């Protein structure tokens, strides 16, 4: 075996606090399984999209107690350098994934051992409560143990700054550097004076605010809800009933938290088939609206039934709907709306028409949540089912956005209309904006490298046509001089008829392409949509051939 690899493995074993993980690595050493050890040691987890995310396994490339301990030590060192008053505490939360409770305990013990006060969630709860509590309690940071919508074997460590927003560069780089330098940690248990449980009154204040803002007079709307085996179930049902919805049914096989996600290959409302059980349950219950959260309840999926048929709404469509109900108040309060470069351009047109300021950011809520600068973000969204509908939470929130969508559906239904009618109204006014995406998962040890090669290929050998459309410009998003900071990706402009952006996923080993087709406004809306769908499919077919990993 490579002596350098053996030395790294033995050194890690000596410092690993988990007996089972030590035993796993020793067994691999004894078996001489160099390939598996390389997988666990060649590419350590690093702070990416506001934290760590990866498979739960022993070794520096996995989520385990050792990586969580080092990451938490990095957070402590970063906070000390920032000069913030650490007695204001760090909010710590977790979801119900396998390993989340164990990693949560590790975070709490390291923080308390370093003399940092802790405000710990009383139980596994939705991710949005962490950024909410950071602001509500005046904490210096927040840590959430979650892998959001990732596959069952993954877990993660999400970090929020003192403003309740996810950290951005250079803070993530500082935390990463301090994590690498971390030595033995001092641990403390919950008996020390600095440990606090997040007060029930603080969490109740979230409910009261969102219900007061988005609640309705007793509604006849029939809703079916699924948390996709996540932690949103009890909280979302409590909010819906308090907000005036008395005709809510649940998808029973998916209601209780279960980190194995037994009914789903991927616990993501975006995935094809993810809402199949919800559609069956909603049909049986006579519901007209389905709402779904991902496992940590920071995303919102939805489907609408009209004339007996179910239509699953896309991420952009939900964004347009929420914006249509919020823009008037946003203009009155002089707030800002924001979306990402890979989301639809329709929000900008809606904002301009309403007289609202609109910002476009890099992908991810760590950028969207800060888009207002010194102002207030009234609404932000990204096409991956992330929505911020209230400044109380400086991140995407699948709970409050569900209430906002239900309020709009209720308002429309009282006048004999549906959410699909509102979409017709918007596209009839601003033109059809057909958005879709192509996602290619990279498997194996060479997966990430193959993604980088595919993006580089587009930079240097961009196609002249996609589908039936001419590529009018190729833009390397990694170069400066645009309205957003450089980022790894390529923009292919299709004249006035749309655009494609190709970029690596920030949270998974995937290559993603985001399409928007804006057909000429000839014929009816349905005719325009048929044209856009046909063109979009041709573009996806071409891209799939170009981007083989």
- Give catalytic residue positions: 148
Sign of the C-alpha dihedral, residues 412, 415, 420, 426? negative
- Residue 137, classed as helix, strand or coil, is helix
Answer for the pair 516, 434: CB distance below 8 angstroms, yes or no: yes
* Termini Cα distance of the chain: 30
Sign of the C-alpha dihedral, residues 529, 530, 535, 540? positive
Question: To the nearest 5 percent, what fractions of the chain are helix, strand and coil?
Answer: 40, 20, 40
Please tell me the distance from the alpha carbon of residue 381 to that of residue 385, in angstroms, as a whole number.
8
Please tell me the distance from the alpha carbon of residue 51 to that of residue 547, in angstroms, as a whole number.
28
Kindly state the tokens that stand for 69: 């301990």
- Specify which residues 55 forms β-bridges with: 154
Give me the phi and psi of 90, to 5 degrees please: -120, 130
Please tell me the distance from the alpha carbon of residue 457 to that of residue 32, in angstroms, as a whole number.
37
- Specify which residues 160 forms β-bridges with: 142, 166
Please tell me the distance from the alpha carbon of residue 434 to that of residue 427, in angstroms, as a whole number.
10
Kindly state the tokens that stand for 119: 């405000």
- Rg of the chain over CA atoms, in angstroms? 23
Comparing C-alpha atoms, which of 182, 202, 217 is closest to residue 67?
182
Answer for the pair 348, 324: CB distance below 8 angstroms, yes or no: no
Query: Helix 3-15 and helix 19-31: axis angle, to 10°?
Result: 160
Give the DSSP letter of residue 219: B
Comparing C-alpha atoms, which of 499, 397, 335, 464 is closest to residue 133?
397
H-helix or E-strand spanning residue 19: helix 19-31
Comparing C-alpha atoms, which of 94, 95, 148, 147 is closest to residue 118?
94
- Ordered strands of the 510-517 beta sheet: 434-441, 510-517, 498-504, 490-493, 473-476
Burial classification of residue 273, based on how many CB atoms lie within 10 Å of its CB (0-12 exposed, 13-18 middle, 19 or more buried): exposed
């Amino acid at each position: 075996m490579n002596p350098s690899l053996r030395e790294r493995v033995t050194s890690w074993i000596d410092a690993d606090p988990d007996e089972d993980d030590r035993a796993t690595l020793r067994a691999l050493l004894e078996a001489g399984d160099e390939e598996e050890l390389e997988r666990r040691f060649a590419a350590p987890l690093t702070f990416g999209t506001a934290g760590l995310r990866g498979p739960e396994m022993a070794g520096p490339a996995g989520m385990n107690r050792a990586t969580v301990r080092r990451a938490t030590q990095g957070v402590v060192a970063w906070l000390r350098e920032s000069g913030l008053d650490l007695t204001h505490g760090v909010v710590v939360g977790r979801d119900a994934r396998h390993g989340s409770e164990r990693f949560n305990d590790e975070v709490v013990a390291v923080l308390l051992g370093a003399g940092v006060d802790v405000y710990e969630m009383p139980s596994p709860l939705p991710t949005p409560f962490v950024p909410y509590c950071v602001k509500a309690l005046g904490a210096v940071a927040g840590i959430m143990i979650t892998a959001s919508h990732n596959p069952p074997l993954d877990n993660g460590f999400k970090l929020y700054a003192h403003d309740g927003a996810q950290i951005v560069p250079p803070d993530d780089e500082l935390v990463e550097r301090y994590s690498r330098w971390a030595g033995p940690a001092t641990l403390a248990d919950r008996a020390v004076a600095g440990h606090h449980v997040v007060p029930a009154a603080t969490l109740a204040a979230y409910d009261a605010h969102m219900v007061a803002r988005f609640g309705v007079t007793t509604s006849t709307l029939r809703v079916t809800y699924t948390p996709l085996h996540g932690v949103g179930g009890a909280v979302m049902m409590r909010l819906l009933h308090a907000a005036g919805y008395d005709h809510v049914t649940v998808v029973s096989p998916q209601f209780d938290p279960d980190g194995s996600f037994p009914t789903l290959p991927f616990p993501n409302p975006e995935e094809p088939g993810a809402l199949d059980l919800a559609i069956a349950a909603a049909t049986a219950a006579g519901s007209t609206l389905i709402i779904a959260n991902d496992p940590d309840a920071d995303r919102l999926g939805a489907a609408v039934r009209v004339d007996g048929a179910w239509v699953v709404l896309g991420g952009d469509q939900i964004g347009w709907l929420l914006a249509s109900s919020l823009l008037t108040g946003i203009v009155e309060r002089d707030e800002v709306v924001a979306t990402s470069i890979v989301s639809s351009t329709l929000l900008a047109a809606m904002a301009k028409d309403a007289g609202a300021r609109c910002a476009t950011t890099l992908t991810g809520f760590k950028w969207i949540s800060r888009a207002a600068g010194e102002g207030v973000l009234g609404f932000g969204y990204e096409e991956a089912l992330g929505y911020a509908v209230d400044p109380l939470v400086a991140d995407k929130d699948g709970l409050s956005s569900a209430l906002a969508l239900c309020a709009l559906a209720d308002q429309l239904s009282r006048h004999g209309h549906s959410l699909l009618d509102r979409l017709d109204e918007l596209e009839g006014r601003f033109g059809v904006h057909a958005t879709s995406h192509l996602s290619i998962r990279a498997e194996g040890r060479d997966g990430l490298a193959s993604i980088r090669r595919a993006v580089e290929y587009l930079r240097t050998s961009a196609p002249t046509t996609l589908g039936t459309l001419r590529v009018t410009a190729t833009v390397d998003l990694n170069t400066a001089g645009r309205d957003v900071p450089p980022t790894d990706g390529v923009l292919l402009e299709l004249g006035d008829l749309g655009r494609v952006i190709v970029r690596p996923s920030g949270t998974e080993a995937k290559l993603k392409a985001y399409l928007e087709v804006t057909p000429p406004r000839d014929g009816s809306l349905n005719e325009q949509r048929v044209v856009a769908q046909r063109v979009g499919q041709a573009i996806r077919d071409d891209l799939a051939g170009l981007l083989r990993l």
